[in-house]
A and B are shown apart, each in its own frame.
Chain A
Amino acid sequence: MSTISKYLLLLFSAILQVSFFNHISVYGYVPNFFLILLVALIFTESPSQFEAPYFAFFAGVIWDLLFAAKFGVCTILFFLLALALKRLREAFEPGFWFYLVFILVFFASYFALEPLMLGYNFQNLFQANNFARLGTNFAINFFCTLGAFIIMDYGFGFIRNKATF
């Protein structure tokens, strides 16, 4: 797939996520296909290139513009996480558990910062239903991404190193 197609795919998936997928929910909880696609894209890029941080930056900008009430949080978060992933993959050859922890960190930090993106104040944040919603969305997206990762890894062989699974 060409690089420009990947950028267009990210843009298209973000638009679909805020419109189509946002209304196809299970009891109000929506898997975020845009974030899952972003994780898949940055995993499949070679660590020797700077493409993954560019994808993450672009995705952050789109998500900040389309979804977040405050601009900047997603852009910085996605870029830093993709950059950290690139640096770590340059330093050693990671296996399954590394990717698992990365997915966990990615979604934990995203959903921890979501109240900031949406402009919640402290009173709103500590309402029980907000915590429950964030926690459930985190769990749904984590397991969806994990499923996608396992399909990518074993079904299509996108991730080269599978030794430690």
Chain B
Amino acid sequence: MVASSQTNKYLFLLGIFLVLYTFQSPIRSAFIFATSPLQVTGTFLASSVNGSLNYFFNAGNFQRENGILRLKIASLEAELAQLQEIRRENESLREGMQLNLQKKLNVISAKTILKNPQTDTLLVNKGEIHGVLKGMAVITPENILIGRVGEVYSSYSSVDMISNTSFPLFNAKVATSGLEVVVRGKGNGLMGLEFAPADKAFHEGDILVSTLTGGIFPEGLLVGKISKFKKNDTDPVPTVEVSSDYRFTGSDYVFLVAPK
């Protein structure tokens, strides 16, 4: 009698497991939908707590940072004046060549729900019913590259960030020199350059943008900035670390982009 009761318990759990395993995609989607208000609230609270803690710990650096930022603003204003001229020229050239990026791309706007910092994955509130496809590039309105769509559920999608360690290698180029490099995710919002040429100089602050090579991303999206460059005479390949400019704040607007 006892043995039969035990068997029934095991069979009951096995049955539940098989049902969950078979229908995991819709069940996961429904579960995320049901729990997302709490998750969004939790993430928002965490951002506030983190923000307060950072403010408290960094209060001493504010004056120095303020000075650096003032200088940077002055330099950027000068650069802006030059760029406005280039922009006008660029616009007239685009019109002349009848290039229109928006018409060539399938763009879906979405909002982020949560980020898993351990795996560098995001969850966004658009899924299969909104036309999201696996592999779509995910960018911010400021053209910062975040990653690409991994799993697509009915009304949600997960996004593998470019800093995710499981993200495939992809090509980018250094904006100033045009040098093509191969980028690999290292986790925690960081990336590294694979096979960085030893004879080329990299500088901290150099900007990397995406290229069409490899066909993973559209061209010209901001990948990140070089945050560390270390070169030893004994090491044939220099160590180059790139940090992403994307900062998750809880509920950000993003664009999911695919060629039409």
A interface, CB within 8 angstroms of B: 12, 15-16, 18-25, 28, 30, 50, 53-54, 57, 61, 64-67, 69, 71-72, 75-76, 79, 118-121, 124, 127, 129-130, 133, 137
Contacts and interface: CB of A to CB of B under 8 A. Distances in A.
B179 interface: no
Contact of B165 (A61, A130, A137): A130
B45 interface: yes
A15 B38 contact: yes
Given A28-B188, A66-B32, A133-B187, 9 more contacts: A15-B39, A15-B42, A18-B42, A22-B46, A23-B50, A23-B115, A66-B31, A69-B151, A127-B165
Nearest to A23: B46
A116 B158 CA distance: 18
B49 interface: yes
A79 B165 contact: no
B9 A50 contact: yes
Contact of B116 (A22, A54, A71): A22
A72 B39 CA distance: 22
B43 A118 contact: no
B186 A129 contact: yes
A19 B43 contact: yes
Interface in B1-37: 9, 13, 16-17, 20-21, 24, 27-28, 31-32, 35
> Which range contains the number of B residues in contact with the other chain?
35 or more
A120 B166 CA distance: 6
B177 interface: no
Nearest to A22: B117
B117 A28 contact: yes
Contacts of A72: 17, 21
B155 interface: no
Interface of B: 9, 13, 16-17, 20-21, 24, 27-28, 31-32, 35, 38-43, 45-47, 49-50, 114-119, 150-151, 158, 165-166, 186-188
A12 B158 CA distance: 22
17 contacts: A12-B38, A18-B39, A19-B43, A19-B114, A20-B42, A20-B43, A21-B46, A22-B114, A22-B117, A23-B43, A25-B117, A53-B13, A57-B16, A65-B27, A66-B31, A71-B28, A124-B166
B interface: dominant SS? helix
Contact of A65 (B13, B28, B165): B28
Contacts of A28: 117, 188
Contacts of B28: 65, 71
B19 to A, nearest CB: 11
Contacts of A54: 13
B21 A24 contact: no
Contacts of B115: 22-23
A71 B13 contact: no
B247 to A, nearest CB: 12
A144 B46 CA distance: 21
B165 A67 contact: no
A24 B35 CA distance: 20
A61 B20 contact: yes
Nearest to A60: B17
A20 B117 CA distance: 11
B16 to A, nearest CB: 8
A71 B21 contact: yes
Q: Which of B28, B39, B42 has the most CB of A within 10 A?
A: B42
Q: Which of A16, A57, A65, A75 has the most CB of B within 10 A?
A: A65
Contacts of B27: 65
Nearest to A79: B13
